[in-house]
Structure 1
Amino acid sequence: MTTEPTNPRMITGAGVPLAVYEQGDPNLPTVLLVHGYPDTHQVWDDVAASLAADHHVVRYDVRGAGASGRPAERRDYRLELLAADLFAVADAVSPDRPVHVVAHDWGSIQSWEAVTRPDAARRIASYTSISGPCLDHVGHWIRRRLTRPAPRSVRQLLGQLAHSWYIVAFHLPAIAPATWRHGLAARWGTVLRVVEGVSPRPGHPQPTLADDAVRGIDLYRANMLPRLLRPRLRPTTVPVQLIGLQQDHYVSGALAEDLDRWVPDLRRRTLRATHWSALLEKGPTVARMVREFVAHQEGRPTPAASAARSPRKPFSGKLAVVTGAGSGIGRATALAFAEQGADLALCDLDLDAVERTAELSRLLGANARSWKVDVSDGPAVDAFAAEVAAERGVPDIVVNNAGIGHSGTFLETTEQEWQRVLDVNLWGVIHGCRAFGTLMAERGEGGHIVNLASAAAYLPSKMLTAYATSKAAVLMLSDCLRAEMSGFGIGVSAICPGIVNTNITKTTTFSGLDNAQQAAKQKRVSGLYARRGFPPEKVAEEILRAVTQDRAVVPVTFESKAARLISRFAPGLLRTTARLDIG
């Protein structure tokens, strides 16, 4: 067993010798990595090094690149011959066991040709595609949008055309080869650094880049127009994992919208990366995604692999964490996510209540589990996050909803009351953001964090000093965190509901009152909120919309929206009303 690539052995593909590199234990599942244009097998160095610890990793230079043979004519770059090369390598390195194909760029395009052959499942156990669509699928994608030229379809076509400008250039005589030979090859490392965010590294770009790039132009000229103008029907039964790159300059996400039509067993993942930084900067992350998918296909299900189902509802395949999910806005939010396809990890101090929410979520088709967690306890939240990640995978959405109410002036509110309000309303949010946000950032697949603030965050009241302070802190925390997490592709939203009919009023505490007075005040305030009649389900709708649209601050009720507007244009008016004895 070796974790370093061996010297290449030459395998004959479809009439062309191919340089094949192997590392890892041949008795383990074989992962076959196929590079794109204008790369060689070296573009996979980081991915291969990670996977070789527990896989048999095979790479090869495609025809015309690196140490492999050079086709004599343009027609020798046709997709059917490239697919035949892939099968020849698979048969040579893993004759008795199907291989797991992972491909990037043109490697993906040619691998789709192999994966969509009728007998592909006999030799290919799974396929992970990165930034390279099936050209036949693209041809049908274009036709459907030309026959139904709605504004969105036109925008998608124009967007992809802007991404694909270089394809037109590659079809112009002499220009592309001359560009590569007279400057671009020598400056390719600079292009990758400036445009793609790739740090310089030894051995990349490869010494043969200029020749590889010039010969590889025939990949485009031999295949693009025939496939796009006369697309075939190319379904597959092979399980496919599609890794979409959020910052890809060449392949838009819209191209994969119709992929469910061709791939019944499809899992979608996203990675915040550019076209080449995915492999050259985030290789270990890509390797982890591949490892999870391969393990799932080999009968060792992992949370992330099984959760990343192809979407049929807006949140299908997503895992949402909701704190304070035992009632009110938390329960309504959990059920709303369940109804839209998400799976759930729910927590609350009241275990019976949150288990009921989980039960209701399962009736809606969600895979839901409940935990008893005190969000004010940092280590407990850390343990909750670790258990969720180990059992269910890193969540895509986290809703920090748990909170308590308290009313009292500053001078009336005791230190213990201040501590209780801040521990739950502020520190509970901090603990949730830190525990889950760290996992989401490390995963590198984006996501969304929702923090429940309040209209009290910008609507001062002398009777809500501690509560309003905690919620104002949550609002500012969310804005600061949003700026930081944007670099990881993670959105952050602060929700400011206003007066909503939930049971928070039944547990709200009041400074300076005995038990009997507390109960009477709770009853009176609960009645006022009930008469307002604004249900938590409407807040849940706004939370889902905030996640979908990546909204920063979401006032929900009329009074919340009005107070937000007044706080911007007439803050003095709010300071005046803050003197009233309300709450």
Structure 2
Amino acid sequence: MSLVGKVALVTGAGQGIGRAIALRLAKDGADIALGDINSQKIEEVAAEIVALGRRATTYVVDVSKLDQVVAAVDHTYAQLGGFDIMVNNAGIAQISPLLEVTPEQVERVLSINIQGVIWGIQAAGKKLKSLNQRGKIINACSIAGHEGFALLGVYSATKFAVRALTQAAAKELASSGITVNSYCPGVVGTDMWVEIDKRMAEITGAEVGATYKKYVEGIALGRAETPEDVAGFVSYLAGPDADYMTGQSPMIDGGMVYR
């Protein structure tokens, strides 16, 4: 229970990895603010957190909008009486050959995966500095932030950008006692990978499920990753054992990409 007394805001918390992170941080003692564009889903997760004996609040937020992210951080502090941890988890996939990707597709994925992280870092950093307290900012990266994948070129570029933002923010905020790190999952059995597999099938002509199966077969530990696998690592980054770690984007992928 290393997070007792801490307050965390998790974006993209309505499902998948974000939901698992919110629940794990709550199990480890934190009170949780849940941010997502889907109000129904975060209310359901909030009920799960309350059932664990922790406090929870929700806020509908589009992370591509700076004012909404700032408002989510302010809401967290106002409702839960503190602010210690920011998990910039919200993100989307984008599957398309680079020769066919459209300006609209590029704009959408960059606005969420890159701008969303920038606004999260900015809002959280300013709030923590105004409170004159230490804190943790944790960003969603990916193995695609260490290696570019075919048909995921734009998505990979956004995750490379997250690594750069994590390093730059870590250097800028270290003197204020704020650490900034990222987590880099591999093939996680979530709705995002269902969509990736479906689009890959449409583009390549492979059967639905074949792309997912191919990637899972390449995992050294022999199984797909679960959201809970990711959440356990994020809890470590959020806790005191990671106080001397900043600017890093480690992979937690079961053995797929090695650096």
The reply on whether 1:373 has 2:61 as its aligned counterpart is yes
Q: Give the equivalent residue in structure 2 for 1:444.
A: 132
Q: Give the equivalent residue in structure 1 for 2:159.
A: 471
Deviation at 1:533, TM superposition (A): 2.6
The one-letter code sitting in structure 1 at the alignment partner of 2:140 is L
Q: Secondary structure at the residue paired with 1:407?
A: coil
Q: Alpha carbons of 1:535 and 1:484: their partners in 2 closer, same or farther (altered >3 Å)?
A: same
Unaligned 5+ segments in structure 1 are 1-312, 566-583
Q: Give the equivalent residue in structure 2 for 1:350.
A: 38
> CA-to-partner distance for each residue in 1:301-350, whole Å, 9 max, x for gaps?
xxxxxxxxxxxx31111001100001111011111011111000001111
Matches within 5 A, 1:54-65: none
CA contact (8 A) 1:496 1:556 kept: yes
Q: Alpha carbons of 1:442 and 1:328: their partners in 2 closer, same or farther (altered >3 Å)?
A: same
The one-letter code sitting in structure 1 at the alignment partner of 2:52 is L
CA contact (8 A) 1:346 1:358 kept: yes
Q: Give the equivalent residue in structure 2 for 1:553.
A: 249
TM-score, scaled to structure 1 = 0.40
Deviation at 1:502, TM superposition (A): 1.3
Q: Secondary structure at the residue paired with 1:559?
A: coil
The one-letter code sitting in structure 1 at the alignment partner of 2:192 is I
Q: Alpha carbons of 1:522 and 1:378: their partners in 2 closer, same or farther (altered >3 Å)?
A: farther
> CA-to-partner distance for each residue in 1:171-190, whole Å, 9 max, x for gaps?
xxxxxxxxxxxxxxxxxxxx
The reply on whether 1:487 has 2:172 as its aligned counterpart is no
The one-letter code sitting in structure 1 at the alignment partner of 2:228 is E
CA contact (8 A) 1:505 1:522 kept: no
The one-letter code sitting in structure 2 at the alignment partner of 1:524 is G
CA contact (8 A) 1:317 1:342 kept: yes
The reply on whether 1:427 has 2:118 as its aligned counterpart is no
Moved more, 384-393 or 324-333: 384-393
The reply on whether 1:524 has 2:209 as its aligned counterpart is yes
Aligned equivalent of 1:336, options 24, 29, 36: 24
Deviation at 1:376, TM superposition (A): 1.2
CA contact (8 A) 2:188 2:227 kept: yes
Bigger radius of gyration: 1
Q: Secondary structure at the residue paired with 2:114?
A: helix
Aligned equivalent of 2:8, options 320, 326, 341: 320
State the structure with bigger RCO (CA 8 A, min sep 6), 1 or 2. 2
The size of the alignment, in residue pairs, is 247
The reply on whether 1:458 has 2:146 as its aligned counterpart is yes
Deviation at 1:522, TM superposition (A): 10
Q: Give the equivalent residue in structure 1 for 2:225.
A: 534
Q: Give the equivalent residue in structure 2 for 1:175.
A: none
Deviation at 1:510, TM superposition (A): 8.1
Task: Write the distance in 2 (CA, Å) between the matches of 1:314 and 1:417.
Answer: 41
> CA-to-partner distance for each residue in 1:234-284, whole Å, 9 max, x for gaps?
xxxxxxxxxxxxxxxxxxxxxxxxxxxxxxxxxxxxxxxxxxxxxxxxxxx
Q: CA RMSD in A?
A: 2.4
> CA-to-partner distance for each residue in 1:423-461, whole Å, 9 max, x for gaps?
111111111111121101221110100001001011122
Q: Alpha carbons of 1:373 and 1:465: their partners in 2 closer, same or farther (altered >3 Å)?
A: same
Deviation at 1:525, TM superposition (A): 6.5
CA contact (8 A) 1:506 1:526 kept: no
CA contact (8 A) 2:197 2:209 kept: no
Deviation at 1:509, TM superposition (A): 9.3
Deviation at 1:530, TM superposition (A): 7.7
Unaligned 5+ segments in structure 2 are 218-222
Task: Write the distance in 2 (CA, Å) between the matches of 1:523 and 1:443.
Answer: 50
> CA-to-partner distance for each residue in 1:348-406, whole Å, 9 max, x for gaps?
11111111111111111110111211111222112222222233234101100011111
> CA-to-partner distance for each residue in 1:160-217, whole Å, 9 max, x for gaps?
xxxxxxxxxxxxxxxxxxxxxxxxxxxxxxxxxxxxxxxxxxxxxxxxxxxxxxxxxx
Task: Write the distance in 2 (CA, Å) between the matches of 1:347 and 1:471.
Answer: 21
CA contact (8 A) 2:170 2:180 kept: yes
Q: Secondary structure at the residue paired with 2:160?
A: helix
Task: Write the distance in 2 (CA, Å) between the matches of 1:521 and 1:348.
Answer: 33
Task: Write the distance in 2 (CA, Å) between the matches of 1:522 and 1:351.
Answer: 34
Q: Secondary structure at the residue paired with 1:538?
A: helix
The reply on whether 1:386 has 2:74 as its aligned counterpart is yes
Q: Give the equivalent residue in structure 1 for 2:220.
A: none
Aligned equivalent of 2:94, options 386, 391, 406: 406
Deviation at 1:517, TM superposition (A): 4.0
Q: Alpha carbons of 1:493 and 1:363: their partners in 2 closer, same or farther (altered >3 Å)?
A: same
TM-score, scaled to structure 2 = 0.87
Task: Write the distance in 1 (CA, Å) between the matches of 2:188 and 2:181.
Answer: 19
Task: Write the distance in 2 (CA, Å) between the matches of 1:412 and 1:329.
Answer: 29
The one-letter code sitting in structure 1 at the alignment partner of 2:113 is N
The reply on whether 1:502 has 2:185 as its aligned counterpart is no
